[in-house]
Amino acid sequence: MNITKHADETPFDYHKRLVYGKLVDKTLSDVDYSELSQFVYGKSYSSDVARRMLYGSRFTLELMDAENVAISSDELLAELDAKLIEIRKEKQKFYDYRNAYHAIVRQRSRQEELNEIIVDAIHNGELPELDYHQNFYETSDNDLLVSLNDLHYGANYDNYWGTYNSDICKDMLKKYLDKILHIAELHHSENCIVWENGDAISGNIHRSIQVTNKENVIEQIVGVSELISEFLAELSKHFKTVTFFSVSGNHSRVETNKDNSLIEERLDDLIDWYLKARLQNFENVIVGTNKRIDSTMYVVDIRGKTYCGVHGDFDGSASKIQSLQTMVGQPLYAVLSGHLHHNKVDMVQGIKTIMAGSFLGMDSYCVQKRIYGKPEQMVCVCDSDGVLCHYDISL
């Protein structure tokens, strides 16, 4: 049982002897396919793959014998190389399909599990009744654009720069609501567009945050979702329509390691799901997920002007603002963002940038990173020309 090449054998003869020895005259029947592939093809393959390759080679060799085809060994090897490439391509396709399938199953399983946990939490809790009141509203020439950025619900700190917890977050939101209604009355605003651009919950992405979080992430999601539901329900009494737009932030990712985190796996998405169910009887409240391009951006038309919403963790430079316009595929009037925890209005190459602050202020992470910020949000009055004016609301 000699599987090494003879000195007087051509590469073609050697190849044929090994293939026929394994599959025809059985002189190499005791040699495993995987071991034999190293000599036949110059590379080891699994037994299953090598067996199929050998049968393919046998079929080709038998055709040549039957038709008495005269072919050079170089041409034959070139043909075999081509077949090997095709086999490898099909093998890679199979691996890609399998990995994609497992990713989809994993993502859907996580989402369904989280939904079930939240449904149980809702059923086990005592939620206040939210009543819809249909009122008559006069038309006007402007709408309010109201930020609801970086609530970081669930965070808990008490330091030199301030104190924050879920109860304080609720008090801040009540104060903010009074300010919004005062501005709406001042400008006789018709509609209200609420943009919640990420980090509604504190999450568990940093060790310092994990230690100080008052509630676990599921309690955070339920708590902030109910808080936003009540906020939108109250706004609905004072505007013709209230529309809610949101994107995911970095604090809500499922995987703490950002390099391993999938963009589509963010807990923020559960908030929209909750709001739709909680406010389903409110005819003038719209949860605008249909305007989402993906989980990281949305577009909204306000009085004929196109606004694009992002969290801000992917869009921190002038070139990224231009990239957003290219990705959206239409001229942008403004980009709405958060993430950096302070209010700012600017103009970047003809596109207005509107960044709203946070409810959080300075937690331990901000202190460590020397990131200063005070609790604040922003309300813009928008007409057909764009942003007529904006208000920095200190919380």
Provide, for the chain, the percentages of residues in helix, strand and coil under a 3-state DSSP scheme, each rounded to the nearest 5.
45, 20, 35
| pLDDT of the residue at 215 | 53
| pLDDT of the residue at 187 | 97
pLDDT at 129 exceeding the cut of 90: no
- CB-based contact 65:12 (threshold 8 Å): no
| pLDDT of the residue at 362 | 84
pLDDT > 90: percent of the chain: 35
CA angle 168, 190, 330 (to 5 degrees): 90
pLDDT at 247 exceeding the cut of 50: yes
The mean of the pLDDT values for the chain is: 82
Averaged pLDDT for residues 372-380? 92
213 vs 90: which has the higher pLDDT: 90
Nearest residue to 249 via CA among 317, 153, 162: 153
Range list of β-strands (E), the chain: 143-147, 157-159, 162-164, 192-196, 242-246, 285-287, 292-294, 297-302, 305-310, 334-337, 344-348, 351-355, 376-383, 386-394
55 vs 203: which has the higher pLDDT: 55
The predicted-structure confidence for 8-31, as pLDDT tens digits, reads as follows: 888 888 888 999 988 888 888 888
The two structure tokens encoding residue 250: 């970095």
pLDDT at 380 exceeding the cut of 50: yes
Q: How far apart are CA 357 and CA 226, in angstroms?
A: 21
Cα first-last separation, the chain? 86
- CB-based contact 309:197 (threshold 8 Å): yes
Q: How far apart are CA 44 and CA 140, in angstroms?
A: 76
Cα 348 vs. chain centroid, distance in angstroms?
26
Taking CB atoms within 8 Å and a gap of at least 24, the contacts of 165-171 are: 165/214, 166/214, 166/215, 166/223, 169/227, 169/359, 170/227
Q: How far apart are CA 266 and CA 54, in angstroms?
A: 48
Ranked by mean pLDDT, the top range of 57-61, 118-122, 318-322 is: 57-61
| pLDDT of the residue at 212 | 46
Length, in residues, of the chain: 395
The predicted-structure confidence for 87-124, as pLDDT tens digits, reads as follows: 888 778 777 777 776 666 566 665 666 666 666 666 66
The total of other beta-carbon atoms located within 10 Å of residue 35's CB is 13
Averaged pLDDT for residues 180-194? 97
| pLDDT of the residue at 252 | 46
pLDDT at 237 exceeding the cut of 60: yes
Is pTM beyond 0.85? Reply is no
The predicted-structure confidence for 135-149, as pLDDT tens digits, reads as follows: 777 799 999 999 999
The predicted-structure confidence for 321-354, as pLDDT tens digits, reads as follows: 888 888 888 899 999 998 888 899 999 989 999 9
Averaged pLDDT for residues 38-66? 87
What domains are defined for the chain?
Answer: 1-125 (no CATH), 142-394 (3.60.21.10)
| pLDDT of the residue at 149 | 93
Lowest-confidence pick of 36-45, 58-67, 113-122: 113-122
